[in-house]
Amino acid sequence: MRTPPPLAGGAQGPDALQPLLTTALDALREGAAARGGPLPPGGPTTVAARLHEAATPLLPHHGTGARTALRTLVHATAQGAADPAEPLCAAHLHCPPLALAAAADLAASALNPSLDSWDQAPAASALEALLTTTLATEVHGRGDALITTGGTESNQLALLLARERATAHGRTPRILTGANAHHSLHRAAWLLGLPTPVTLPTPTGTLDPATLATALAAHTADDTDLLVTATAGTTDAGLIDPLTDIADLCATHGARLHVDAAYGGGLLFSDTHRAKLHGLDRADSVTLDLHKLGWQPAAAGILTVRDATDTHTLTHRADYLNADDDTEAGLPDLLGRSLRTTRRPDALKIAVTLKALGRTGLGALVDHVCDQAHHLADAITAHPHFDLYATPTISTVLFRPTHADDDHIAHIRRKLLTEGTAVLGRAQLEGRRWLKATLLNPHTTPDDLTTLLKLVEGTSPR
């Protein structure tokens, strides 16, 4: 019998990994060079055809061996990537991961701790506990946090915790949210069997305290627990709801407050921008997403809670993972830290990043992308043929060519995608379509932004 392929872990693992890593890294380098831009030219049919040619047959009778498979598929994936490390790949909250975070993630994959029981993750679970306490303290000055797969799962958990609080008191939760909120909140309400959230109009882009005050008064009832969800960093425009006013209103009306800071949460690291999140500490729960302004490879989501007992509602028993006598004997009970069972140690890459860069290092990255957004906004304002939506609050810049209609805006975006020259997003705000540049690359320079505007100008009507 042939010897089975080498393993990633153990004392021998690194020696087996080393040559494979060389192959993978060479394929990444060569794939990126073959692409030659922020994404592959040609559009979906061309990209899929090239991928199929390289990848098929995907399940051959006899395998190709590790080196060939790794080289071929890593190269094809890199050549066909929309790579956020390229400054002109700036559509979404899709960040370029730091090399050190990706290296830590490789170590996590090699060790493969699973965070559903202590006997699968002795040190990783201790590191996760340290990280969650650190992050909760950073946000609330107290409390606890759970690691999630991202903003979507964090928002889902926030609604679940609110629902369980309400039902424990025999009441129904009633969610009040802005029209500017992330779509995942509505899905979470649907998934959890909650009444459809009351959606308040946000014509200025953020939740208006007077509108919220009226809605809170209108929905107050003995059998109802009110939950307000606010946003710190809207996905489309990067706007921040007035958190202090909202926290005051929630206190007055006895409403629970969840703040979705999936995008804006990273501002906490910056001395310059932290004040924009004033009031965030008063929220009962906060969604953070360090695969946005945190430069982590996905996934790196977090839900923080002010009151550490809030998470107890996730307590769950499975004899093989957290038998009562094991817990009583001192083995940490991890099953209540998530709704998932097998769970990756996403804490490792986050912890490595926090420790390596510190608050000032992360703050400098945040400051850079916010500065670049201002630079781009200034260039748009100074340009005779472009209109700017608003001065950026975080690092999103919305703009449109003055003489383009909505169809043309969509066409410009798709033309750049098909050419492979730039990845811009789109947003529908104030009844009009805008091009969206979400700047998350800490290496972006003013020259990159000049190039970006020239590309848009080259495809715009006059």
- Per CB under 6 A, residues contacting ligand PLP are 93, 150-152, 155, 182, 184, 231, 233, 235, 260, 262-263, 289, 301
Q: Choose between 277 and 379: whose C-beta lies nearer to ligand PLP.
A: 277
Q: Choose between 263 and 295: whose C-beta lies nearer to ligand PLP.
A: 263
Q: Choose between 173 and 264: whose C-beta lies nearer to ligand PLP.
A: 264
Question: How many helices and strands (H and E) does the chain possess?
Answer: 14, 11
Nearest approach, Cβ of residue 233 and ligand PLP (Å): 6
Residues 334 and 91 sit within 8 Å (Cβ to Cβ):
no
Q: Choose between 151 and 401: whose C-beta lies nearer to ligand PLP.
A: 151
Q: Residues 6 or more apart from 301 whose CB is under 8 A from it?
A: 147, 148, 149, 150, 151, 152, 153, 154, 262, 287, 288, 289, 290, 291
Q: Choose between 230 and 354: whose C-beta lies nearer to ligand PLP.
A: 230
Nearest approach, Cβ of residue 108 and ligand PLP (Å): 18
Q: Choose between 289 and 448: whose C-beta lies nearer to ligand PLP.
A: 289
Nearest approach, Cβ of residue 332 and ligand PLP (Å): 27
Question: What distance in Å separates the CA atoms of residue 147 and residue 283, rounded to the nearest whole number?
Answer: 18
Token pair belonging to 439: 């700047």
Residues 31 and 81 sit within 8 Å (Cβ to Cβ):
yes
Q: Residues 6 or more apart from 342 whose CB is under 8 A from it?
A: 114, 116
Q: Choose between 97 and 233: whose C-beta lies nearer to ligand PLP.
A: 233
SS3 label, residue 175: strand
Nearest approach, Cβ of residue 95 and ligand PLP (Å): 11
Nearest approach, Cβ of residue 367 and ligand PLP (Å): 20
Question: What distance in Å separates the CA atoms of residue 317 and residue 333, rounded to the nearest whole number?
Answer: 9
Nearest approach, Cβ of residue 205 and ligand PLP (Å): 13
Indicate if the alpha-carbon torsion angle 238, 243, 249, 255 is positive or negative: positive
Nearest of 124, 110, 114, 85 to residue 9 by alpha carbon: 110
Indicate if the alpha-carbon torsion angle 235, 239, 244, 249 is positive or negative: negative
Number of Cα atoms under 13 Å in the Cβ half of residue 282: 17
Q: Choose between 235 and 460: whose C-beta lies nearer to ligand PLP.
A: 235
Nearest approach, Cβ of residue 318 and ligand PLP (Å): 26
Nearest approach, Cβ of residue 176 and ligand PLP (Å): 17
Return the H-helix or E-strand segment holding 263.
Answer: none
